[in-house]
Amino acid sequence: MRIVLFLGAAAVLAACSSSSTPTGGTCQTRANSQLTALQAAISVSEQTIERGYSTVRQLSADGSQFEEVQVPVNVAKERQNLANLQARLGPVQAETDAALALCGS
């Protein structure tokens, strides 16, 4: 786990060595991307627990359109998932802060 976090931090820091990338985007945007994705996943998990179901999009039977379908979830497992996501928040925030510090240099 620590190796993965280290490699993730190294990749973010290396990506921030210049102010922009060939594919576009700023150093700050790249540095914040992992934190933003994690915060979004936490929000979705919290909403799923509150509702007691998840919403997925699937193709209709005739294949002509997408429709949203409610899928029941195991709330206990979703709470565990939320706890795991929240546990990652501190280390990801630290990586983001370090990467953002390099963006300004």
pLDDT score recorded for residue 40: 97
The 3-class secondary structure across 82-101, one letter per residue, is HHHHHHHHHHHHHHHHHHHH
Dump pLDDT digits (tens) for 56-79. Answer: 999 988 988 999 999 999 999 999
How far is the C-alpha of 33 from the C-alpha of 36, rounded, in Å? 5
Dump pLDDT digits (tens) for 79-98. Answer: 999 999 999 999 999 999 99
Other beta carbons less than 10 A from residue 20's beta carbon: 11
Instruction: Calculate the CA 57 to chain-centre distance.
Output: 19
DSSP character string of 33-79: HHHHHHHHHHHHHHHHHHHTEEEEEEE-TTSS-EEEEEEE--HHHHH
